[in-house]
């Protein structure tokens, strides 16, 4: 009760306006917080994924085929056996060259599940606020699972919809 | 501000005192409200000591509200003490004088909290285990060391019980202490020991239940009863035997999840692989050194006419310098590589060993089991465990519990005779059962021996004949062969099924479990003299001795313990019968199938010679054709991630020396898949009109 009284007492002159000014964030910033994504290159396509789902990046390792499951493979990443998926197949990226330089493996992690996929290049980490909507034609794939486009170093980078990706992965692992 | 606070404090204290008299939930809730207000106010005016007391009171009240019970006498007292202190504070408007008292009060309230009770339970559990063990030893052989250990445990329990205010327990433990302090003058009767055991059991159950159970009157009565019995029993001495010495070493332990250890092992394994690369690298450096030496030779052999002598000597100097430098650097890197290899090797071995724990950890419950069972069957048993400190893989130990229990039950039920029988046979009245664990020739040996009836080989033969497993009784079968029958499901020579054993499933289940951990069971028996069961197990499950093969161009492995043979045959040796392929080995016809067919992977190119791995499920033999046999290796098993959905026919994964993944085949599953394949083929052939 006394605390109540204490807190409801009248504020000194100009006090409220002063504080409001100093702690308010610009409208645009508040509506668009900063996000971080990792940009990588797969065949000829530049793609991005939120950094929260990227667990590790590993050098190229030998892939062991999985019996009974042609779509998956197995690699050794830092001493643990990990499942390998083909993002190329999953995103239905078609390209003329069947073989391409796979240099790295990116390990995705969501909750307890970890998947690895091969990429040609790791471009780096990019901060952004908004995703631009881009016409699907701009991205050379029939896969519609892109959330939007980010511009990075004059390149259009397609942002993968991680929810859709994980639900596809989850269903194929059954 | 402070004045404001004190005024408020007075209001709240009055409210609390009013509601303390009531016994309803609403009263409790309004007390809680007042306390929260006091806490908030104290925080605002920065009086931490009052805030802390208020916080403790808050927890106390919250618990009471949750249990939907009014505050008991002690708790009421505590609250009143607090309000009393608060009154003094605002009356004198002076806090500093009361700081000490406030602190004492806070601690007192803490003591009545539930968390303390939980700690008490944990300590109680620990001491009960020690108490139980010591009592068992005392029962067998009354001696001072056991008694001392008993008294220590009892004393700890008494102190802990007093701290949390469980009077009945304190009283009971005190009588236990008294009884044991005077054990020599007043020997304990078997009844009293039985009572003590039931008390221990009850205590153990209580530690697993919730707090309230402990303070109900029911248990107080039980313990008061037991205390009375202890004070008034009639002494009757137990038979005395030679005393036993007990080593009581306890190491500090740390709890770590199994997954954490797996990760550690993975990293250690990778480190080992990387260090091997370093060794290869040092060899390439040798090449550089040799190149250098050659260069040096050319320089030395330069004719003096080709170059000015000054330039030549300069060249020579430089070349010599380079050569010396390379030698120095190579030496230091070689030293580094050696140190590095040793360290990573040691790290790896340590991590693998971390999966081990002492044998005693897994057999703690067995002495009690034997004792209770012996009592139930009216037999006298002397049970000893040897090799308690032998290191065993945690997982193996977990799998061993059930088989060991079964084998002991068998020994007590069927093996050891009744005391009268034993005396008549000239044996000591007490049956002797010994459980031993030791490392031998790189394997773990667990032996259960008894000096009971042994095995009646004739009975086994008869039963086998009855079940039509052998054709005639006149067959001369060795003990080893006869003993194998015991492992068949449903085989038993017991006339009647008792609650304990005799159903005929036990030994079969035991053998299954042991084989699952890549082990073997052997039985040896002397009729009338006793039986010995020997379990041979690998030292650790995490390392599998495997045969590496190539299937479809990729590496796979079979656990050596699970395969019968591995041979290379000519394609000419293969015969066809009714669409299925066979070959002969040691007079047995073995069905052939391609490994890549079973696994659903691409076929590799055909070769004239076939590499075949022969599997067996004890009844049939199967030959699996692989691309090539690659050799024997010890592999560290890697459980497949849950993300990697269960792969058919594959038991686990592992890594080769170069870090590449290799899959270990599950032989049982593979046999099952092969059978399915054959059935499919047969039915397909039938529909196509290709009959037998």
pLDDT in tens, A149-163: 878 888 888 888 888
Average pLDDT over residues B247-260: 63
Cα of B248 to nearest chain A Cα, Å: 39
Average pLDDT over residues B432-436: 93
What distance in Å separates the CA atoms of residue B259 and residue B264, rounded to the nearest whole number?
Answer: 9
Average pLDDT over residues B53-68: 75
End-to-end CA distance of chain A: 59
DSSP B407-424: HHHHIIIIISPPHHHHHH
Q: Say how far residue A64 (Cα) sits from the centre of its chain.
A: 26
Average pLDDT over chain A, rounded to whole? 78
Which pLDDT score, from 0 to 100, does residue B379 have?
A: 87
Name residue A46's beta-bridge partners: A41
Q: How confident is the model at residue B472 (pLDDT cuts 50, 70, 90)?
A: confident
Residue B548: is its pLDDT beyond 90? yes
Between A54-58, A126-130, B429-433, B435-439, the lowest mean confidence (pLDDT) is in: A126-130
Cα of B639 to nearest chain A Cα, Å: 8
Contact assessment for residue B643 and residue B595, using Cβ atoms and an 8 Å cutoff: no
The tens digit of pLDDT for each residue in B293-306 reads: 888 888 777 766 66
Which pLDDT score, from 0 to 100, does residue B500 have?
A: 55
What distance in Å separates the CA atoms of residue B118 and residue B102, rounded to the nearest whole number?
Answer: 25
Task: State phi, psi for B134 to the nearest 5 degrees.
Answer: -65, -35
Between A36-50, B56-70, B571-585, the lowest mean confidence (pLDDT) is in: B56-70
Which pLDDT score, from 0 to 100, does residue B244 have?
A: 32
Cα of A56 to nearest chain B Cα, Å: 14
Please answer yes or no on whether B638 and A115 come within 8 Å at the CB atom.
no
Which pLDDT score, from 0 to 100, does residue B241 have?
A: 34
Which pLDDT score, from 0 to 100, does residue B664 have?
A: 92
Which pLDDT score, from 0 to 100, does residue B498 have?
A: 57
Do strands B520-526 and B431-440 pair parallel, antiparallel, or not at all (unpaired)? unpaired
* Phi-psi sector, A118: left (phi>0), alpha (psi -120 to 50), beta: beta
Three-class SS state of A132:
strand
Q: Which of A64, A81, A83, A110 to mutate to test the interface with B (most CBs of B within 10 A)?
A: A81
Please answer yes or no on whether A67 and B5 come within 8 Å at the CB atom.
no
Residue B216: is its pLDDT beyond 80? no
DSSP B356-410: EEEHHHHSTTHHHHHHHHHHHTT--EEEEEE-TT-EEEHHHHHHHHHHHHHHHHH
The tens digit of pLDDT for each residue in A137-147 reads: 555 555 566 77
Residue B505: is its pLDDT beyond 80? no
Where is pLDDT greater, at A171 or B145? Answer: B145
**Complex ipTM tops 0.85:** no
Q: How confident is the model at residue A29 (pLDDT cuts 50, 70, 90)?
A: low
Average pLDDT over residues B479-500: 68
Share of chain B above pLDDT 70, in %: 86
What distance in Å separates the CA atoms of residue B647 and residue A67, rounded to the nearest whole number?
Answer: 7
Calculate the alpha carbon distances from B333 to B278, B341, B576, B617 in Å. 9, 12, 60, 52
What distance in Å separates the CA atoms of residue B322 and residue A157, rounded to the nearest whole number?
Answer: 51
Which pLDDT score, from 0 to 100, does residue B623 have?
A: 92
The tens digit of pLDDT for each residue in A49-87 reads: 888 888 888 888 888 888 887 777 888 888 788 888 888
Residue B65: is its pLDDT beyond 60? yes
Which pLDDT score, from 0 to 100, does residue B242 have?
A: 31
Residue B434: is its pLDDT beyond 90? yes
Which pLDDT score, from 0 to 100, does residue B110 have?
A: 65
The tens digit of pLDDT for each residue in B555-591 reads: 999 988 788 889 998 888 888 887 788 888 888 888 9
Q: Max CA-CA distance within chain B?
A: 121
Q: Which 8-state DSSP code applies to residue B329?
A: H
Q: How confident is the model at residue B625 (pLDDT cuts 50, 70, 90)?
A: very high
Share of chain B above pLDDT 90, in %: 8
Between A166-170, B528-532, B625-629, the lowest mean confidence (pLDDT) is in: A166-170
Q: Which residues from B are below 8 Å from A81, CB to CB?
A: 638, 640-641, 644, 653, 655, 661
Please answer yes or no on whether A64 and B661 come within 8 Å at the CB atom.
yes
Average pLDDT over residues B322-336: 88
Q: Please give the order of strands across the beta sheet that includes A155-160.
A: A121-128, A35-42, A45-50, A155-160, A146-152
DSSP B517-584: TT-EEEEEEETTTEEEEEEEEES-TTEEEEEEEEETTEEEEEEGGGEEEEEEEEGGG-EEETTEEEEE
Please tell me if residue B334 touches chain A, with a CB cutoff of 8 Å.
no
**Least CB-CB distance to A68: which of B11, B265, B600?**
B600
Please answer yes or no on whether A79 and B655 come within 8 Å at the CB atom.
yes
Please answer yes or no on whether A65 and B647 come within 8 Å at the CB atom.
no
What distance in Å separates the CA atoms of residue B445 and residue B535, rounded to the nearest whole number?
Answer: 6
Which pLDDT score, from 0 to 100, does residue B226 have?
A: 73
Share of chain A above pLDDT 70, in %: 80
Average pLDDT over chain B, rounded to whole? 80
Which pLDDT score, from 0 to 100, does residue B688 have?
A: 62
Contact assessment for residue B455 and residue B527, using Cβ atoms and an 8 Å cutoff: yes
Three-class SS state of B479:
helix
Q: How confident is the model at residue B613 (pLDDT cuts 50, 70, 90)?
A: very high
Residue B174: is its pLDDT beyond 90? no
CB pairs under 8 A between A and B: 99
Average pLDDT over residues B409-414: 86
Q: How confident is the model at residue B212 (pLDDT cuts 50, 70, 90)?
A: low
pTM: 0.56
Of B20-34, B57-71, B667-681, give the range with the top mean pLDDT.
B667-681
For B552, nearest residue in chain A (alpha carbons): A65
């Amino acid at each position: 009760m006394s605390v109540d009284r204490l807190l409801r007492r009248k504020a000194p002159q100009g006090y409220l306006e002063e504080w409001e000014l100093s702690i308010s964030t610009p409208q645009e910033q508040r509506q668009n917080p900063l996000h971080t994504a990792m940009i990588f290159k797969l065949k000829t396509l530049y793609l991005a994924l939120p950094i929260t789902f990227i667990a590790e990046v590993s050098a190229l390792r030998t892939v062991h085929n999985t019996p009974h499951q042609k779509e998956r493979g197995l690699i050794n990443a830092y001493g643990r056996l990990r499942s390998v998926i083909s993002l190329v197949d999953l995103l239905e990226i078609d390209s003329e060259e069947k073989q391409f330089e796979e240099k790295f493996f990116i390990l995705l992690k969501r909750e307890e599940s970890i998947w690895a996929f091969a990429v040609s290049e790791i471009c780096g980490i990019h901060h952004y606020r908004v995703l631009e909507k881009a016409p699907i034609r701009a991205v050379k794939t029939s896969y519609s699972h892109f959330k939007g486009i980010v511009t990075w170093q004059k390149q259009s980078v397609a942002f993968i919809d991680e929810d859709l990706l994980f639900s596809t992965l989850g269903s194929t692992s059954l | 501000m402070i004045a404001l606070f004190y005024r408020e404090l007075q209001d709240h204290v009055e409210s609390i005192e009013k509601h303390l008299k009531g016994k309803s939930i609403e009263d409790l809730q309004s007390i809680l409200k007042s306390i929260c207000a006091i806490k908030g106010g104290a925080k605002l005016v920065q009086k931490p000591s009052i805030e802390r007391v208020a916080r403790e009171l808050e927890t106390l009240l919250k618990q009471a509200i949750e249990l939907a019970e009014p505050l008991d006498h002690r708790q009421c007292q505590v609250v009143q003490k607090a309000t009393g202190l608060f009154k003094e504070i605002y009356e004198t408007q002076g806090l500093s004088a009361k700081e000490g008292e406030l602190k004492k009060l806070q601690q007192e309230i803490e003591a009545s909290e539930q968390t303390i009770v939980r700690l008490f339970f944990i300590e109680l559990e620990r001491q009960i285990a020690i108490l139980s063990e010591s009592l068992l030893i005392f029962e067998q052989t009354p001696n001072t060391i056991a008694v001392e250990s008993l008294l220590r445990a009892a004393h700890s329990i008494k102190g802990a019980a007093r701290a949390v205010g469980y009077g009945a327990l304190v009283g009971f433990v005190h009588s236990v202490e008294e009884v044991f302090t005077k054990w020599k003058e007043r020997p304990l009767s078997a009844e009293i020991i039985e009572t003590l055991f039931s008390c221990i059991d009850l205590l153990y159950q209580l530690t697993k239940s919730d707090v309230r159970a402990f303070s109900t009157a029911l248990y107080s009565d039980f313990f008061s009863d037991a205390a009375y019995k202890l004070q008034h029993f009639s002494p009757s001495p137990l038979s005395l035997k030679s005393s036993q010495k007990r080593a009581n070493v306890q190491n500090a332990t740390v709890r770590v999840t199994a997954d954490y250890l797996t990760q550690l092992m993975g990293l250690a394994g990778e480190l080992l692989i990387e260090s091997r690369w370093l060794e290869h690298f040092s060899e390439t450096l040798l090449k550089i050194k040799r190149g250098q030496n050659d260069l040096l030779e050319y320089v030395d052999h330069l004719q003096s006419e080709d170059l000015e002598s000054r330039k030549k000597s300069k060249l020579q100097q430089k070349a010599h310098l380079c050569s010396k430098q390379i030698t120095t650097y190579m030496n230091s890197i070689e030293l580094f590589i050696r140190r590095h290899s040793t360290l990573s090797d040691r790290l790896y071995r340590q991590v693998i060993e971390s999966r081990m724990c002492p044998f005693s950890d897994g057999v703690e419950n067995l002495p009690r089991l034997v004792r209770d069972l012996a009592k139930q069957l009216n037999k006298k048993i002397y049970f000893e465990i040897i090799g308690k400190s032998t290191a065993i893989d945690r997982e193996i130990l977990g799998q061993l519990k059930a088989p060991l229990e079964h084998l002991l039950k068998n020994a007590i039920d069927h093996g050891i005779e009744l005391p009268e029988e034993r005396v008549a046979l000239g044996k000591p009245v007490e049956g002797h059962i010994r459980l031993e664990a030791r490392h031998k020739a790189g394997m773990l040996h667990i032996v259960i021996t008894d000096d009971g009836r042994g095995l009646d080989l004739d009975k086994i033969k008869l039963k086998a004949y009855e079940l039509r497993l052998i054709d005639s009784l006149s067959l001369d079968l060795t003990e080893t062969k006869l003993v194998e029958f015991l492992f068949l499901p449903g085989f038993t020579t017991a006339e009647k099924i008792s609650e304990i054993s005799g159903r005929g499933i036990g030994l079969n289940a035991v053998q299954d479990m042991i084989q699952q951990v890549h082990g073997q069971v052997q039985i040896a028996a002397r009729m009338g003299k006793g039986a010995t069961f020997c379990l041979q197990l690998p030292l650790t499950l995490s390392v599998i001795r495997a045969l590496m093969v190539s299937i479809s161009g990729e590496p796979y492995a079979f656990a050596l313990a699970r395969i019968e043979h591995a041979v290379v045959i000519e394609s000419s040796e293969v015969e066809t019968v009714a669409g299925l392929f066979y070959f002969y080995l040691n007079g047995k016809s073995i069905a052939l199938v391609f490994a890549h067919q079973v696994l659903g992977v691409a076929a590799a190119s055909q070769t004239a010679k076939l590499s075949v791995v022969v599997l067996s499920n004890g009844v049939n033999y199967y030959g699996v054709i692989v691309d090539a046999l690659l050799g024997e290796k010890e592999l560290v098993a890697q459980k497949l991630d849950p993300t990697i959905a269960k792969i058919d026919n594959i038991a686990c994964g592992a890594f080769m020396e170069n870090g590449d993944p290799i899959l270990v085949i599950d032989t049982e599953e593979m046999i099952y898949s092969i059978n399915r394949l054959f059935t499919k083929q047969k039915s397909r052939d039938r529909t196509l009109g290709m009959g037998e």
